[in-house]
Every structure is written in C-alpha cells, then in structure tokens.
A and B are shown apart, each in its own frame.
Chain A
Amino acid sequence: GAVVSQHPSWVICKSGTSVKIECRSLDFQATTMFWYRQFPKQSLMLMATSNEGSKATYEQGVEKDKFLINHASLTLSTLTVTSAHPEDSSFYICSASAGLASNEQFFGPGTRLTVL
C-alpha cells in the first residue's frame, strides 16, 4: 500500500523558536496533502489542504502566518510552526491523496511537538 512518512517523529523545542515538519509520500505522487492537528484524546482537526505548486487552503480559525505550509513537489509537503508557544504542543499528522476515485487518504505516523 501507499506509504507516507513524517519527520521528525517527535520534537521538543523552546518557546519562540520555529519547527519544521516534513511529510513525504514514498511510493506515489500526492496531488493533495492535508495537515491535521490532534489534541490528547480528541479527534483530528483539519488545519489546511495543500496542492502541489499552489498556496495552501487553511481552515477557519487556523493562523496562516503561524502555520506555514509548503507543497513544493508531488512527494513533499512541509509544515512550519513559527514562533512556537506551549499551546502549540500537539500531535501533528499529515495525509496524502493521489486523487484516487475512492478518495482515500494515506496517513503519516504523526509528529509529536512539545514546546517548553
């Protein structure tokens, strides 16, 4: 099956620093990638949708300037959390779609961010 990787799997950073999370589709070309945030014991909240070569579409309430998304190629999308604060600590999950008729998304393993 299709594989999506994320790097790093976990990161601890100081308040005020920026953190970049990579999402890669390893064996297929992802026309669309999605970024989710998951708080403990809660469901996934869609943050943004990105299509290769175009600007990401952010969900209501998600700060574009804080969560920078780049989708420079069909196999790589990055999420940068700028000037991170403790309230940004969360589990960030990406997914990728190849635009299949089944609308299936393939999920990465997630990145746990802890901001001190």
Chain B
Amino acid sequence: GDSVTQMEGPVTLSEEAFLTINCTYTATGYPSLFWYVQYPGEGLQLLLKATKADDKGSNKGFEATYRKETTSFHLEKGSVQVSDSAVYFCALSDLTGGFKTIFGAGTRLFVKA
C-alpha cells in the first residue's frame, strides 16, 4: 500500500540556518503530496502542496518539489526562524485510496536563537 517515509528527528538548527527535511513516498497511483505543520498543542495546518510531477509548492519561505523520478518531496527553507519550531509531516493523498491521507512519522524541528 501507499506509504510515506521522512527523516527522523529531532532536527536542531540555529536561526538563519538552511533546512532540509527529506520525504520519500510509495504510491500505486498519482498522488497529491503535502507538507503539514503542527505547532505545540495545536492541530495540523497545511504548509504547502503539489498535485503533479515537477510542481513546486511554496509558502512562508518553505518549498518542496514533487519529484516523480525519485519519488521524493523534500521540504526546504533557506533561513529558519525560532518561530518555525514545530513538527512537520509529509503526507500523500491518492484518489485511488478514496481521499485517505497517509502521513509520515513527523519530524520535530527545534530552532535556537
């Protein structure tokens, strides 16, 4: 079945450092890919998405490119801030799966001032 694998955390960075969180997926169909962010004590918020190969999703300085050839959707940000500290979830949703969203395990990011 469909699955999402993302790098284990926690990831600890200093402010203004470059961030990469790796995410790879397996899917039988042509999924849409998502990154969600969860701040402490809160629900999930959609950070960005891409619906087809080579699409680049971007928001708040974060970006990720849908790479079908490597089945990847790595999250990047050029300069992180303390306020970016949160848990980041990579996810996919496949039409053939009835709109179910499959989540990765989540990567916790700590950004130090």
Q: A104-B32, A107-B45, A110-B43 are in contact. Are A34 and B106 (CB under 8 A)?
A: no
Query: In the complex, A44→B104 CA distance in Å?
Result: 9
Q: A42-B106, A93-B43, A93-B44 are in contact. Are A102 and B99 (CB under 8 A)?
A: no
Which residues of chain A are within 8 angstroms of B31 by Cβ–Cβ distance? 103
How many A residues touch B, CB cutoff 8 Å?
A: 23
Q: Is the CB of B105 within 8 A of A42?
A: yes
Does B46 interact with chain A (Cβ within 8 Å)? yes
**A113 nearest CB across to chain B (Å):** 14
Does B65 interact with chain A (Cβ within 8 Å)? no
Map CB proximity to A onto B81-113 as digits: 1 under 8 Å, 0 otherwise.
000000001000111001111011110100000
Does A15 interact with chain B (Cβ within 8 Å)? no
Identity of the chain B residue whose Cβ is nearest the Cβ of A99 in the assembled complex: B99
Query: In the complex, A44→B103 CA distance in Å?
Result: 7
Task: Tell me how many residue pairs across A and B have CB atoms closer than 8 Å.
Answer: 58
Which residues of chain A are within 8 angstroms of B49 by Cβ–Cβ distance? 102, 104
Which residues of chain B are within 8 angstroms of A106 by Cβ–Cβ distance? 46
Query: In the complex, A105→B49 CA distance in Å?
Result: 11
Q: Is the CB of A43 within 8 A of B104?
A: yes
Query: In the complex, A110→B34 CA distance in Å?
Result: 19
Q: Is the CB of B100 within 8 A of A46?
A: yes
**B34 nearest CB across to chain A (Å):** 7
Does A78 interact with chain B (Cβ within 8 Å)? no
Q: Is the CB of A108 within 8 A of B100?
A: no
Q: Is the CB of A34 within 8 A of B101?
A: yes
List 5 A-B pairs, minimum CB-CB distance, nearest first. Answer: A103-B93, A109-B43, A110-B43, A107-B44, A103-B32
A104-B32, A105-B93, A107-B36 known, 4 other contacts, Cβ within 8 Å? A43-B104, A43-B105, A49-B98, A107-B44
Which residues of A line the B interface, CB within 8 A? 6, 32, 34, 41-44, 46, 49, 93, 95, 97, 99, 101-110
